[in-house]
């Protein structure tokens, strides 16, 4: 489902391939995921694959497989190899939901008994926005690794992104978000002190400011991490 490939037995250890095919697949797994990586990378590399039925002798001794431990190792590898489905789609949906909640909160569109639910809506806006941002950030890290290490050399969208994105770009963007969020929060703190620590009339701006600060800090450090990853491909 993740890679649009069809196999009868992906963990069959009886394989045959050319040296050229092996160089294209470039497996790096040290354990049982090796067979899975061969199958996934062969599909990603566009290699022709044929399954030939074989017969196995009856096993002597007990199997060393552990259902949950080895199953998780396999699932973990598949998740790393398909960042679009695992990270970007859920992350974008969650971030959009959070930003929409902030917009509704700041505009005062949600009311109960004639009173706006800005505080509660703003809190949920922060939760969804930050969660979505983190998911997208992790997806970008996984995508960068996949592109630089494996078979996404023809990914034009990612290439265009990195033509635009530089360490300086990420630092400026993150710093800008930090400054805007910090100004909002600082202004609210000053108003709170001047009012004698009375409840603020628009606390939803605090949630929005906190969202910008968190996302700004995440952008700065994500930019540092991504810039440290090698993007050179042989």
Structure tokens at 139: 């997806």
pLDDT beyond 80 at 79: no
Q: What is the pLDDT of residue 155?
A: 61
- Taking alpha carbons only, the member of 226, 82, 87 closest to residue 151 is 82
Contacts of 87 (CB under 8 A, 6+ apart): 135, 136, 138, 139, 140, 142, 143
Q: What is the pLDDT of residues 123-156, one digit of tens each?
A: 999 999 999 999 988 888 877 766 665 545 556 6
- CA 11 to chain CA centroid, Å, is 27
Q: What is the pLDDT of residues 21-55, one digit of tens each?
A: 888 888 877 777 888 888 888 888 888 888 998 88
Interval 50-68 mean pLDDT: 85
Domain boundaries, the chain: 19-78, 83-228
Q: What is the pLDDT of residue 234?
A: 40
Secondary element (H or E) of residue 115: strand 115-116
Q: What is the pLDDT of residues 179-208, one digit of tens each?
A: 999 999 999 999 999 888 888 888 889 999
- Specify whether the CB–CB gap between 188 and 200 falls below 8 A: yes
- Taking alpha carbons only, the member of 86, 79, 83, 5 closest to residue 42 is 5
Q: In percent, how much of the chain has pLDDT > 90?
A: 28
- Any idea what DSSP says for residue 199? P
User: What is the average pLDDT value for the chain, to the nearest integer?
Assistant: 83
Q: What is the pLDDT of residue 167?
A: 76
């Amino acid at each position: 489902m993740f890679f649009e490939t069809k196999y009868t037995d992906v963990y069959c250890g009886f394989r045959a391939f050319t040296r050229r095919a092996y160089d294209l697949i470039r497996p790096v797994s040290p354990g049982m995921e090796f067979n899975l990586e061969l199958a996934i990378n062969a599909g990603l590399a566009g290699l022709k694959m044929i399954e030939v039925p074989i017969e196995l002798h009856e096993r002597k001794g007990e199997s060393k497989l552990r259902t949950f431990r080895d199953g998780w190792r396999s699932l973990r590898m598949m998740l790393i190899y398909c960042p679009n489905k695992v990270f970007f789609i859920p992350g974008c949906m969650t971030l959009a939901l959070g930003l929409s909640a902030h917009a509704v909160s700041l505009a005062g569109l949600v009311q109960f008994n004639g009173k706006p639910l800005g505080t509660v809506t703003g809190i949920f806006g922060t939760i969804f926005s930050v969660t979505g941002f983190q998911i997208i950030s992790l997806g970008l890290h996984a995508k960068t690794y996949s592109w630089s290490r494996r078979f996404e050399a023809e990914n034009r969208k990612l290439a265009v992104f990195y033509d635009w994105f530089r360490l300086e770009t990420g630092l400026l963007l993150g710093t800008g978000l930090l400054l805007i969020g910090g100004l909002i929060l600082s202004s609210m703190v000053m108003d709170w002190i001047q009012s004698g620590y009375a409840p603020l009339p628009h606390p939803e701006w605090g949630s929005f400011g906190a969202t910008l600060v968190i996302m700004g800090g995440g952008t700065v450090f994500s930019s540092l991490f991504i810039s440290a990853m090698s993007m050179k491909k042989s």
